[in-house]
Amino acid sequence: MYDVVIIGAGVVGGMLARTLSAYDLKICILEKENDVAMGASKANSGIVHAGFDAKENSLKAKLNVRGAELMPQIAEELGVKYKNNGSLVVGFNDEDVKTIKELYDRGCKNGVRRLRIIDQDELHELEPNISDKAICALHAPTGAIICPYELTIAAIGNAMDNGAELKLNFEVKKIQEHDGYWEIASDKDTVMSHYVVNAAGQYSDAVAKIIGDNSFTVHPRKGEYILLDKECGGLVSHTVFRTPTAMGKGILVSPTVDGNLLVGPTSEDISDKDETSTTIEGFRKLFDADTVKNIPFNKTITSFCGLRSVGSTGDFIISSIKRGFISAGGIESPGLSASPAIAEEIIDMLGVHGLVLCKKNDYNPYRRTAHWFREASVAAKNATIAQNHAYGRVICRCETVTEGEIIEAIHTNPGARDLDGIKRRTRAQMGRCQGGFCMPAIMRILSRELDIPYESISKSGGGSDVICGRTKETL
């Protein structure tokens, strides 16, 4: 019997698990995929928003500002890259100037600090590659960037280090209410818990429906992105937004914490909750991004698509219709920024429902950064290599990732189990050749370390097998 079961290993579930793991509680996270951070948390803009976007007095506004405040320390504790690069909302016409003024006022009401409106000259001085047609901008120095899946992986890893359990490939099919506890079942497994938090992202409405909660729905809004080579990462230093419209914040151009350049997202409401394909129309819209001059799209490394969970109320939904069962839905942007505060909000609510919180003595908020070897001095690297030769064998040439780091990613909570899992934890296969050289070597390491056959290695779990058998077998 668990105290708290969290459905969904995205950034909301992960941040909640980590915050709860500071208390004397038995926690389990259920995830339907083969890894954590497989939904919106792996494919979004990676922005810690300053907090001027959301309407004043909304949950989005409150939790964004609070979450953004908490984020630097959390990133520090989890060893996650976080860069306070500031953001710019760029205006091109009188309409935009009006909106920027509104955003400024709203930001001030929301409690965003150091906001200011800058003119064309200062804008071009800050960002020489910004469009010549831009006439002004809202400058938010508190805006920051973070890697969303790195944050999620680290939060869940830290929760696990502090005792939380993670069950992968657990797709919740049935939830039954008993006297004082809940029974949650997949096709293969059942767990029981006093409290349940539904953080199932795109499927949070479906999970809520299982217990008869039809109070909200969530629909997907597609966002396509193009990621450019690291040699383009310096094109802009700030996150550059276009002035927003009814459909969202528009296409942004931003450096990533790893030094690439990100252009996106598009915005298209769809109905299929698993439809993450990129489209020719999407590429066209991205190629037309006009806030920044001369974006070198010929340096594209990859393109991808994420789905925002747009809730039916227009605000974040954190609600409960039955004692001991809380749902978090509609956590679209600024969900990543707000995630630490969403966790606090849910924990407050769990307290109201009767969950007793006793601080653990041995709680450790720190997680060794996944970048420790990369960032070590030459002397420290050599000391490590002398003890463990695997750190001297470079497997991924483009991103310089060693066998030692890959083995570590497999055996550090939450351990990587497939090729994409290695990619998100180490950046191996994420560089210019996209795994062309190192994929077979990584498959060997996965096979050896997990003691599973080479043939069973997948790209990302399920039926995503990389190979179909031995040679000569098909003859």
Partner 1 sequence: MTDLVIIGGGPAGMSAALAAYESGIRDILILERDAALGGILQQCIHNGFGLHKFGQELTGPEYAWKYEKRVHELGIPYKLNTMVLDITYNKVITATNAEDGMFEIKAKAIILAMGCRERPKGALNIAGTRPAGIYSAGTAQKLVNIEGYMPGKNVVILGSGDIGLIMARRMTLEGAKVQAVCELMPYSGGLARNIEQCLNDFNIPLKLSHTVIEIHGKERLSGVTIAKVDDRRKPIMSTAEYIPCDTLLLSVGLIPENELSKSADIELSSVTGGAVVDQDRQTSVSGIFACGNVLHVHDLVDFVSDEAEIAGKCAAEYINGEKCSNISVNLKTDGRIRYTVPQRITQKKDITVYFRVSDVFRNVRINIKNGDKTVFSKKKNKVAPGEMESIQLKAELLDGVSELNLELEEV
| Residues at the site binding partner 1, with contacts judged by CB under 8 A | 226-227, 274, 276-280, 282-283, 297, 300-304, 378, 381-382, 385-386, 389-390, 392-394, 397-398, 400, 432-437, 439-440, 443, 454-455, 458-460, 462-475
Strand pairing of 144-146 and 82-83? antiparallel
* Minimum CB distance to partner 1, residue 403 (Å): 9
Minimum distance from residue 467 beta carbon to partner 1 (Å) = 4
Phi, psi at 179, each rounded to 5°: -75, 100
Round to whole Å and give the CA distance between 377 and 122: 38
Catalytic residue among 49, 139, 219, 238: 49
Q: Is 49 a catalytic residue?
A: yes
Rounded distance, CA 108 to CA 456, Å?
54
Q: How many CB atoms lie within 10 A of CB 266?
A: 23
CB 424 within 8 A of CB 149: yes
Helix (H, G, I), strand (E, B) or coil at 451: coil
Helix (H) / strand (E) containing 347: helix 335-352
Q: CA Rg, the chain, in Å?
A: 22
Query: Is the CB of 57 or the CB of 464 nearer to partner 1?
Result: 464
Taking the least distance from each CB to partner 1, the nearer of 256 and 458 is: 458
- If the CB atoms of residues 176 and 400 are measured against partner 1, the closer one turns out to be 400
The terminus-to-terminus CA distance of the chain in angstroms comes to: 52
The one-letter amino acid at 137:
A
Q: How far is the CB of 27 from partner 1 (least distance, A)?
A: 30
Residue number, 176 or 302, with CB nearest to partner 1: 302
Residue 202 CB, nearest approach to partner 1 (Å): 15
In the complex with partner 1, the residue whose CB is nearer, 358 or 468, is 468
Buried b or exposed e, range 334-347, using 16+ CB within 10 angstroms: bbbbbbbbbbbbbb
Cβ at position 436, least distance to partner 1 in Å: 5
Active site residues: 49
